Amino acid sequence: MPERKIKIDKERCKGCLYCIEFCPRKSLVVGKGSNARGYAFVEINDEGKCTSCAICALMCPEAAIEVRKDK
Partner 1 sequence: MKQVYCRPESLKDNANSYCPGCGHGIVHRIVAEVIDELGVREKTIGIAPVGCAVFAYDYWNFDVTEAPHGRPPAVACAIKRVLPDRVVFTYQGDGDLASIGTNEIIHSANRSDNITVIFINNANYGMTGGQMAPTTLPGMKTTTTQNGRDVKVSGYPVRVCELLATLEGTRYLERVMVTDPANINKAKKAIKKAFQAQLDRKGFSLVEVLSPCPVNWGKSPLDGLKFVKEEMTKYFKLGVIKDETVQSQA
Residues forming contacts to partner 1 in the complex (CB under 8 A) are: 3, 5, 11-12, 14-18, 21-22, 37, 39, 52, 54-55, 57-63, 65-71
**Per residue in 46-62, is it b (16+ CB within 10 Å) or e — as a string?**
eeeebeeebbbbebbee
Q: Give min distance, CB of 32 to partner 1, in A.
A: 18
User: Smaller CB distance to partner 1: residue 45 or 57?
Assistant: 57
Is residue 31 within 8 Å of residue 39, measured between CB atoms? no
Q: Give min distance, CB of 45 to partner 1, in A.
A: 18
